[in-house]
Amino acid sequence: MKTWDTNFLLRHLLEDDAAQLVIVRDQLTAAERSDTVIFLPQIVLVETSWYLRSLLSRTAVLDVLAELLLDRRFTCERAYELDAAIRAARKKGDFPDHLIAAAATAAGALPVQTFDRILKVFPIFEVHRA
């Protein structure tokens, strides 16, 4: 198993650099031939979501992340947390905030304290005012 960095994943998703895309596709093909998967750490998906947010709507970014979870060529770090974060972010808030909440839930470290008022509708967050 190999791990992809954010720039590798972005080339795969955006196909915006022909020279790098050839390398990325070669690596993906090699992984498929050897019947192995590519590991995607959570931080790579957070960075990817931040970059894609400059190009796509929030819903479209969440759709891309959800597709990655289903793509059998990849395995995502703590996929159950990613899935929970995507589902929560579809209701309101940002994917990274909900990923923090999913990790906190798994760790039994609740509530998540924040100043982000939009998250007050989720009981898992404890929103404070300055």
pLDDT in tens, the chain (130 residues): 999 999 999 999 999 999 999 999 999 999 999 999 999 999 999 999 999 999 999 999 999 999 999 999 999 999 999 999 999 999 999 999 999 999 999 999 999 999 999 999 999 999 999 8
What are the DSSP E strand ranges found in the chain? 2-3, 38-40, 74-76, 112-114, 125-127
Question: 124: helix, coil or strand?
Answer: coil
Whether residue 65 contacts residue 99, with contact meaning beta carbons closer than 8 Å, is answered with: no
The burial of 40, by beta-carbon neighbours within 10 Å (0-12 exposed, 13-18 middle, 19 or more buried), is given as buried
Q: Report the predicted TM-score, pTM, of the whole model to 2 decimal places.
A: 0.94
